Amino acid sequence: MRGLPEAVKKRIPLPLGIPAALAVTFLLLPLAGVLAHAPWSSLPSRLASHEVTQALTLSLLVSGWALLIALLLGVPLAWLLARTEFPGKSLVRCLVMLPMVLPPTVAGVALLQAYGRHGILGPALASYDITLPFSTAGAVMASAFVAMPFLVISLEGSLAGLHPRYEETATSLGAAPLRVFRTITLPMVLPGLIAGAALSWARALGEFGATITFAGNLPGTTQTLPLQVYLLLQDDPEGATAVSLLLLAIATAILISLRGSWLNPQTPTKTGRGRGAGEGPARGVKPYVRPSAGHTTRGPATAAHTAAPEGPPRPPGPAPTPHPLRTTVTGAVEATLNAPAGTTIAVVGPNGAGKTTLLRTLLGLTTRATATTLTLGTEDASHAPPHHRRIAWVPQDGALFPHLTALANTAYGLRAQGTPRAEAHREARQWLDRLGVGALAHHRPGRLSGGQAQRVALARALAARPRLLLLDEPLAALDQSTRTHVRHTLRTHLADFPGVCLLVTHDPVEAVSLASHVLVLENGRTVQYATPTDLTRRPRSPWVARMLGRNAWPGRTTADGDGTVLLDDGARLTTAEPPPAATTGLAVVPPEAVSLHTTRPTGSPRNIWQGKVREITAQGGRLRVLVEGTDGAPETVAEITPSAAADLALAEGTPVWASIKATEAAFIPL
Ligand SMILES: Nc1ncnc2c1ncn2[C@@H]1O[C@H](COP(=O)(O)OP(=O)(O)OP(=O)(O)O)[C@@H](O)[C@H]1O
């Protein structure tokens, strides 16, 4: 009961406790009976007898072969069931489970009808002098038939629980499918595979009904231990109990070994806050960011300067070749990017906008959209398989391989691309040092903090010498202070990256501070592709404007071109610089340009709306006040000082007047 809260440990409700105790007794009594009636004094001689050792040897042989068949056929089947979609998949899964629910004698009859002398394949087999019924091979088949489902089901469960991002990340680092299976999939599902294999073997060892029906009870040929028990029971009950005790001991040994630590599921990483369907930290648009937050335009000039504080001056490995990116993506996502080497592009957009689909399309991991053109450097990679694209992907939680050390994780891409082990490790070590996590080289991901894991994930991606780097919300899973550190590390190392970097983010600070361009996606379409400065000055959708913390109201200018905008909400907004007449667009007002008053203001502001305070939140040293408009006035965000808020005695529900000078309101035609 380890791990349960104290209160739960102590209280066992009687209505549950009594039937549970009865269940335990029900299971225990027969076992106690075997122990009580076992012929202990003659046990050694009975178990050492020729008949028993012969049956035991045969049992081990038959169950061993059955396990081998189950492994050879069952592992690929489990993988297909867990990882692929094909017609009739549910039917195949039912078929796999059928032997588990079928009475074993029926399974034996079915085997006879398939492989017996008059069965479907019998005559064909007979023409090759192969007779399966009443042979050791038949006993193996009968055991494999009933035992394989245990392996398939256990392994399929483990594979289904293994998030594909580990395998996909390995692919993006250059590993071919077989290598991914051998180095990532298998080690990560090993506990499930071992458990399935052990159960499968135990089932084969205990198989009786199908064997006796299909293979008979021939001493030395098909008479395994369970069959011997059955035979002995008629003439020598003590002997049957002795052999039963042996089978019981074997089954118990298997169970005890299954309780070993290798049966416990792997702990991926401390930061294993993986994002499957619907998982992931709550996201939302961050409040206002000052447009003056500044952004980094990468390039040779800034690279040397920004790389200086950390690590050696140049990244390890040969001198990098610049890799510009040219791509057009169509389908579920439509985007065209033509970016010189050294560009970092932030990909932003509301939930479901298609950001992840865009990354997966470039990686070649989805068919929902296609990169109709994808040129990396001078090479056309539009039709290259994912592991040949040299596009490194860092998923949101880093997806470090939990069974490998930080060093082996970092060397993974180089090894997959054929670099000898010692050289790959030396280079990986340099990357880890460069990212300030060299001391953790021999730690497994489970022992790394969130920030450390992100650095290792970045080292692993960069060490693979990618031509395009895809970062999916690299800072989202980190707390505020770690985020600042890792952001700094990212900025430093992106400066040296010789390709293009696409960085998905929901955080406007990340977008404007790390990227030289921002791609805005909405409903799978590109809404804007601009520099952060342009984006802040001229947001082209209400979502972008709000992401940047601005008030944005869709509307249309009046026909007489006097600078009046009729907002869709019904209010009128006057702008100082008259926009084109009769044009649809977006009226944008920074929240610091909105003044709040408790009485109707007089004087210059030409836009005055009435409303009441709905929410007050802190933003840096200032307060953001959300005002719900009344009488058709739009919802407005104002940013004011705490002392101004105190002077006005603002609280939720306080009626206020919001005023905006015409000079502060801009109209962006769309
Ligand atoms: N495998 C899929 N099959 C069909 N539709 C999908 C699949 N994956 C995603 N979608 C849909 O495609 C759209 C874009 O999804 P995507 O995951 O690319 O958005 P996103 O911008 O990354 O969203 P988020 O910010 O929530 O991660 C959504 O409407 C989503 O429901």
Tens of pLDDT, residue by residue over 336-369, are: 999 898 899 999 999 999 999 999 999 999 888 8
Residues 97 and 139 placed together within one structural domain of the fold = yes
Separation of CA 513 and ligand 1 centre (Å): 26
Q: Is 353 in the pocket of ligand 1 (CB under 6 A)?
A: yes
Q: Which tops the pLDDT comparison, 520 or 11?
A: 520
Whether 276 is in a domain gets the answer no
- Check residue 6 and give its pLDDT: 53
Mean pLDDT of 654-665: 89
- What distance in Å separates the CA atoms of residue 542 and residue 115, rounded to the nearest whole number? 70
Among candidate residues 459, 475, 500, the one where a domain is terminated: 459
Which ipTM value was assigned to this complex? 0.95
Q: Is 396 in the pocket of ligand 1 (CB under 6 A)?
A: no
**Whole-number CA gyration radius for the chain:** 34
Q: Which of 187, 265, 274 is nearest to 450 (CA)?
A: 274
- For the record, the structure tokens of 621 come out as 């040293």
Whether 272 is in a domain gets the answer no
CB burial class (10 A; 0-12, 13-18, 19+) of residue 17? exposed
* pLDDT of residue 604 exceeding 80: no
* Of the candidate ranges 131-140, 435-444, 617-626, 635-644, the one whose mean pLDDT is the lowest: 617-626
Separation of CA 647 and ligand 1 centre (Å): 47
Q: Which of 207, 244, 59 is nearest to 136 (CA)?
A: 59
Q: Is 354 in the pocket of ligand 1 (CB under 6 A)?
A: yes
Whether 23 is in a domain gets the answer no
Separation of CA 303 and ligand 1 centre (Å): 35
**How does strand 325-331 pair with strand 335-339?**
antiparallel
- The angle at the Cα of 582, spanning 541 to 609, to the nearest 5 degrees, equals 65
Domain carrying residue 451: 398-459
Residues 402 and 538 placed together within one structural domain of the fold = no
Separation of CA 349 and ligand 1 centre (Å): 12
Separation of CA 168 and ligand 1 centre (Å): 17
Whether 115 is in a domain gets the answer yes
Write the CATH number for 48.
1.10.3720.10
* pLDDT of residue 155 exceeding 80: yes
* pLDDT of residue 27 exceeding 80: yes
Among candidate residues 511, 527, 548, the one where a domain is terminated: 548
Q: Is 355 in the pocket of ligand 1 (CB under 6 A)?
A: yes
Residues 155 and 181 placed together within one structural domain of the fold = yes
Mean pLDDT of 26-35: 92
CB burial class (10 A; 0-12, 13-18, 19+) of residue 615? exposed
- What distance in Å separates the CA atoms of residue 272 and residue 62, rounded to the nearest whole number? 42
- What distance in Å separates the CA atoms of residue 644 and residue 284, rounded to the nearest whole number? 28
Residues 471 and 407 placed together within one structural domain of the fold = no
Yes or no: say if 35 and 245 are a contact pair by the CB < 8 Å rule: yes
Percent of the chain whose pLDDT exceeds 90? 41
Whether 366 is in a domain gets the answer yes
Which residues touch 205 (CB under 8 Å, ≥6 apart)? 59, 60, 63, 143, 224, 225, 247, 250, 251
Per-residue pLDDT tens over the stretch 378-433? 888 888 999 999 999 998 888 999 999 999 999 999 999 999 999 999 999 999 99
- What distance in Å separates the CA atoms of residue 527 and residue 540, rounded to the nearest whole number? 7
Residues 241 and 361 placed together within one structural domain of the fold = no
- What distance in Å separates the CA atoms of residue 600 and residue 529, rounded to the nearest whole number? 41
Residues 578 and 543 placed together within one structural domain of the fold = no
Write the CATH number for 602.
2.40.50.100
- Number of domains present in the structure of the chain: 4
Q: Is 275 in the pocket of ligand 1 (CB under 6 A)?
A: no
- For the record, the structure tokens of 380 come out as 């056309």
Among candidate residues 548, 575, 600, the one where a domain is terminated: 548
Residues 241 and 161 placed together within one structural domain of the fold = yes
Residues 249 and 103 placed together within one structural domain of the fold = yes
Atom number, ligand 1, closest to the C-alpha of residue 332:
12
- What distance in Å separates the CA atoms of residue 409 and residue 447, rounded to the nearest whole number? 14
